[in-house]
């Protein structure tokens, strides 16, 4: 077997040491880490840019929507005002106190023995209408006071059919000092004043079905 | 393997440099970037909410627009009987004609007061007093019923009927009415 001598071993050792140089290897490793970090940073920058583009798009959309929403809000208030006025006037018209039926009812309960000399009525209140009626008159007959009392009762009963809280009271009821004559015969009479109070309706509430934001 | 002093110094220096680089990377590069992204996301979320609110307003107005013709018609129907111009110019003649048609002459109408309504912009309530020198009870009652039916914006607030001493079948009457008119 031939003996083989490596006279070049020192050079080879130096070359091997160079190949396995820890500084070089660590530099490679460090470079890889730096590249990774740089790549991650670039990725994050791209994500940030994407978000900024999205934000810019949203800002443009918001400006457009905001402009339209402002106009829409003004238009809605305008429409609401029109609706409110209409609803309010309709409620007012529907909640009115009607005197026609009241006068008809009064005419229906006054007997032939009574003559009304004065009728004063007033209505007040919003929604719930309170009416006060004062009826002055003269009743005649054998029992003029009873005739007046019957009128008071009939008035309360008649008004009570249609209205609430009806009261009818005498403010005065007095025999007449002067005698009356009917068909040549003397008859007695009494003067009276009846005050009737009653109410009608409900509170007016304006509701258009919309709420303000 | 024994490290020389110079090598130890290099290692320490290298360690410090690496620490500085990593610290700078996270605090000076990634930190502001992350904060910026967080702020941008928050702004996007806030804007999305406002955009939704704006779109909701648009839909609400569209719904109101759909109801508008009907509501405008109600309003128009209610105010159609109010002529243009000062009420003093048209209301007294209107009442005169109305009651003349029902057999009551010489009705005098005068304005008593007026109130601007706060609830309904553009309208005011005018109070009038109407004097009837000569009326019959049933004729007058019928005319009031007609008036209430013909004028939806008018309400009789006070009524007074006095029987005449000489002619008991003929009465004098006074009406107080309130009426909505345009401002």
Secondary structure class of B180 (helix, strand, coil): strand
B32 to chain A, closest Cα gap in Å: 11
Q: Chain B residues with CB inside 8 Å of A57's CB?
A: none
Q: What is the pLDDT of residues B140-165, one digit of tens each?
A: 899 999 999 988 889 999 999 998 76
Cα separation, B181 vs B91, in Å, equals 10
Q: What letter would DSSP give residue B27? A: I
As beta bridge partners, residue A167 has A197
Q: What is the pLDDT of residues A185-207, one digit of tens each?
A: 777 889 999 999 999 876 545 45
Two structure tokens written together for B128: 């009038």
- The pLDDT assigned to A203 comes to 52
Cα separation, A34 vs A37, in Å, equals 5
Two structure tokens written together for B77: 């129907």
As beta bridge partners, residue B116 has B124
Cα separation, B126 vs A195, in Å, equals 28
Band of pLDDT at residue B76, cut at 50, 70 and 90? confident
Is residue B122 within 8 A of residue B180, CB to CB? The reply is: no
- The pLDDT assigned to A197 comes to 93
- The pLDDT assigned to B6 comes to 81
- Which DSSP helix (H) or strand (E) runs through B182? strand B171-182
User: What's the mean pLDDT in B110-129?
Assistant: 86
Q: Between residues A14 and B176, which one has the greater pLDDT?
A: B176
User: What's the mean pLDDT in B158-175?
Assistant: 84
In terms of CA atoms, which chain A residue is nearest residue B180?
A89
Residues shown for chain B: 183
Average pLDDT of chain A?
A: 86
Two structure tokens written together for B99: 């009651």
User: Which residue in B39, B77, B159 has the most chain A C-beta atoms within 10 A of its own C-beta, making it the best mutation to test that interface?
Assistant: B159
- The pLDDT assigned to A179 comes to 64
- The pLDDT assigned to A48 comes to 93
B11 to chain A, closest Cα gap in Å: 11
Band of pLDDT at residue A19, cut at 50, 70 and 90? confident
Two structure tokens written together for A167: 């009261």
In terms of CA atoms, which chain B residue is nearest residue A105?
B141
Domain definitions of chain A by residue range? 9-94, 99-200
Q: What is the pLDDT of residues B34-61, one digit of tens each?
A: 999 999 999 999 999 999 999 999 999 9
Indicate yes or no: CB of A68 within 8 angstroms of CB of B138: no
In terms of CA atoms, which chain B residue is nearest residue A48?
B37
Cα separation, B161 vs B104, in Å, equals 14
ipTM for the assembly? 0.70
Domain definitions of chain B by residue range? 1-80, 87-182
Q: Chain A residues with CB inside 8 Å of B72's CB?
A: 82, 86
Q: Which CATH number fits domain B87-182: 3.40.50.2020, 2.40.50.140, 3.30.70.60, 1.10.630.10?
A: 3.30.70.60
Cα separation, A117 vs B168, in Å, equals 8
Q: Chain A residues with CB inside 8 Å of B138's CB?
A: 107
A143 to chain B, closest Cα gap in Å: 22
Q: What is the pLDDT of residues A43-102, one digit of tens each?
A: 999 999 999 999 999 999 999 999 999 999 999 998 888 888 888 888 888 888 899 889
Cα separation, A208 vs B117, in Å, equals 18
User: Looking at the domain that runs over A99-200, which CATH code has it been given?
Assistant: 3.30.70
- The pLDDT assigned to A212 comes to 43
Band of pLDDT at residue B134, cut at 50, 70 and 90? confident
Residue from the list B44, B119, B155 with its beta carbon closest to the beta carbon of A54: B44
A66 to chain B, closest Cα gap in Å: 6
- Which DSSP helix (H) or strand (E) runs through B116? strand B108-116
pLDDT tops 90 at residue B85: no
- The pLDDT assigned to A211 comes to 44
C-beta neighbour count of A170 within 10 angstroms:
14
* Nearest to B109, CA basis, from B163, B142, B151: B151
Indicate yes or no: CB of A51 within 8 angstroms of CB of B168: no
Q: Chain A residues with CB inside 8 Å of B160's CB?
A: 118-121
**Per-position b or e across B146-157, b if 16+ CB within 10 A of its CB:** ebbeebbbbbbb
- The pLDDT assigned to A210 comes to 46
Is residue A156 within 8 A of residue A106, CB to CB? The reply is: no
pLDDT tops 70 at residue B16: yes
Cα separation, B68 vs B64, in Å, equals 6
């Amino acid at each position: 077997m031939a003996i083989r001598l490596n006279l070049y071993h020192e050079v080879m050792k130096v070359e091997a040491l160079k190949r396995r140089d820890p500084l070089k290897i660590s530099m490679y490793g460090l470079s890889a880490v730096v590249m990774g970090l740089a790549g991650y940073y670039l990725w994050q920058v791209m994500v940030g840019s994407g978000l900024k583009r999205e934000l810019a798009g949203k800002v443009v959309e918001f400006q457009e929507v905001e402009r339209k929403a402002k106009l829409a809000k003004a238009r809605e208030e305008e429409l609401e005002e029109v609706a409110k006025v209409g609803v309010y006037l309709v409620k007012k018209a529907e909640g009115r106190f009607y005197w026609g039926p009241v006068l008809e009812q009064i005419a229906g309960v006054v007997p032939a023995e009574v003559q009304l000399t004065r009728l004063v009525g007033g209505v007040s209140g919003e929604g719930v209408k309170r009416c006060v009626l004062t009826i002055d008159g003269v009743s005649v007959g054998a029992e003029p006071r009873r005739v007046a009392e019957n009128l008071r009762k009939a008035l309360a009963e008649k008004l009570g059919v249609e209205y609430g809280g009806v009261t009818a009271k005498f403010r005065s009821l007095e025999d007449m000092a002067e005698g009356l004559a009917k068909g040549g015969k003397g008859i007695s009479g009494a003067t009276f004043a009846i005050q009737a109070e009653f109410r009608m309706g409900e509170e007016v509430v304006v509701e258009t079905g919309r709420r303000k934001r | 393997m024994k490290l020389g002093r110079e090598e130890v110094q290099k290692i320490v220096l290298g360690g410090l440099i690496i620490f500085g680089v990593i610290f700078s990377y996270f605090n000076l590069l990634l930190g502001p970037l992350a904060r910026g992204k967080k702020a941008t996301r928050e702004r996007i979320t806030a804007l999305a909410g406002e955009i939704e609110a704006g779109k909701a307003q648009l839909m609400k107005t569209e719904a109101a627009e759909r109801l508008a013709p009907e509501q405008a018609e109600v309003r128009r129907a209610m105010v159609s009987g109010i002529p243009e111009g000062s009420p003093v110019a048209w209301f007294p003649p209107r009442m005169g004609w109305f009651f003349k048609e029902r057999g009551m002459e010489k009705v005098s109408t005068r304005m008593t007061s007026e109130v601007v309504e706060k609830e309904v912009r553009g309208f005011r309530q005018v109070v009038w007093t109407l004097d009837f020198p000569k009326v019959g009870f049933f004729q007058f009652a019928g005319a009031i019923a007609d008036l209430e039916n013909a004028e939806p914006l008018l309400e009789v607030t006070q009524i007074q009927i006095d029987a005449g001493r000489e002619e008991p079948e003929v009465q004098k009457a006074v009406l107080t009415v309130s009426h909505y008119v345009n401002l």
